[in-house]
Amino acid sequence: MKRYILVLFLFLTFSGYAQNSINNYKYVIVPEKYSFLKENDQYSLNSLTKYLLQDRGFTTYIDNAELPTELANNKCNALTADLLEKGGMFTTSVTLLLKDCHGNIVFKSKEGKSREKEYKVAYNMALRDAFTSLDEIKYAYNGSTTESVAATQPAVSTTTVAAAPAQSTVATTAAASPEPVKQAPSATTQVKPDVAAATVAATTATATKAIKATAEPTPPAAGTLHAQAIPNGFQLIDTTPKIVLTLLKTSAENYYIANSATANGIVLKKNQDWFFEYYKGGTLVSEKLQVKF
């Protein structure tokens, strides 16, 4: 009995340690090519891994990309993604691994599986299935791996930074305004300093809001999906950004094999509108899409 209690205690301790460890990392580096494949980003597995990690809250980079300073100076601030593939006659299986800079496995997902025959669709669905293990952990970065880097950086004076724009604004206002006619000081014409400062601040705030409103682009309509080109098709991404649908080209124009996290079907264009059609419980479902290619 004591033996079983000890084993259970060790298991719970290890699980807690794994979860705490993954929360220590902000960054994940994704390789250009997985070892079991022949080409870079074959079947879009590497780019899909990057986006699925990003969707769970990580900041991700492909290993050949330019890295931020804190990461370029210390690769131990990041985890590295890897996939284990297990081929079968009727099943495609992949397991997601996240390793630290010493090669230790910090996280290992369940074995994601798919019975689809087409390789790209099968790997895509198996990888999404493996990622459901991350949803159970509920990753949340706690800032641990960058504390040592932040401690070595020189402190920035917030007072100086905040004061600079104010000085610039006052100088600009003074230069643009014509020189006032000098008058004899009197009780009725003298402006109190605090009133003048309040007037300048209000004018500056109004101008800043107007400039910001003009500079900011109009947000896309709710529900609009942006098409991102991938080998053999597109990924439809929302504003999160999150991959909503993966489209694979066919020999017919405006007709794609499509799959999401919950359904497989087709996307086609009818009367200038795009539709995602699939079967659910034996019933054909047709969903209208707003797609921007």
Place of tokens 């230790």: 104
pLDDT at position 9, please?
A: 45
Burial letters for 219-252: b for 16+ Cβ neighbours within 10 Å, e otherwise?
Answer: eeeeeebbbeebeebbbbbeeeeebbbbbbeeee
**If DSSP states are collapsed to H, E and C, what string results for 211-261?**
HHHHHCCCCCCCCEEEEEEECCEEEEECCCCCEEEEEEECCCCCEEEEECC
Pair 13, 7: CB distance under 8 Å: no
pLDDT at position 58, please?
A: 93
Pair 109, 134: CB distance under 8 Å: yes
Rounded Cα distance, 50 and 27, in Å: 11
Question: pTM score, two decimals?
Answer: 0.48
Closest to 80 (Cα-Cα) out of 31, 148, 45, 33: 31
Helix (H, G, I), strand (E, B) or coil at 34: coil
Q: Which domains does the chain have, with CATH numbers?
A: 14-146 (3.40.50), 224-292 (no CATH)
pLDDT at position 70, please?
A: 84
Pair 133, 96: CB distance under 8 Å: yes
Using a 10 angstrom Cβ sphere, with 0-12 exposed, 13-18 middle and 19 or more buried, the burial of residue 150 is: exposed
**C-alpha to C-alpha distances, 224 to 34, 72, 245, 274, 290, nearest whole angstrom:** 32, 36, 12, 12, 5
pLDDT at position 28, please?
A: 95
Closest to 239 (Cα-Cα) out of 224, 227, 228: 224
Reported in sequence order, the residue ranges of the chain that DSSP labels E, i.e. its strands, are 27-30, 59-62, 78-87, 92-99, 105-114, 224-230, 233-237, 243-249, 255-259, 264-270, 273-280, 283-292
Distance of CA 273 to the CA centre of its chain: 29
pLDDT mean by block of 10 residues, the chain; 293 residues: 49 43 92 93 93 93 88 90 88 94 94 90 92 89 60 38 39 43 46 53 55 42 80 86 89 89 90 91 89 86
Q: Which pLDDT tens digit goes with each residue over 21-60?
A: 889 999 999 999 999 999 999 999 999 999 999 999 999 9
pLDDT at position 152, please?
A: 38
Pair 53, 25: CB distance under 8 Å: no
**Cis amide linkage into residue 241, ω under 30° from 0:** yes
Q: End-to-end CA distance of the chain: give it in Å, rounded.
A: 63
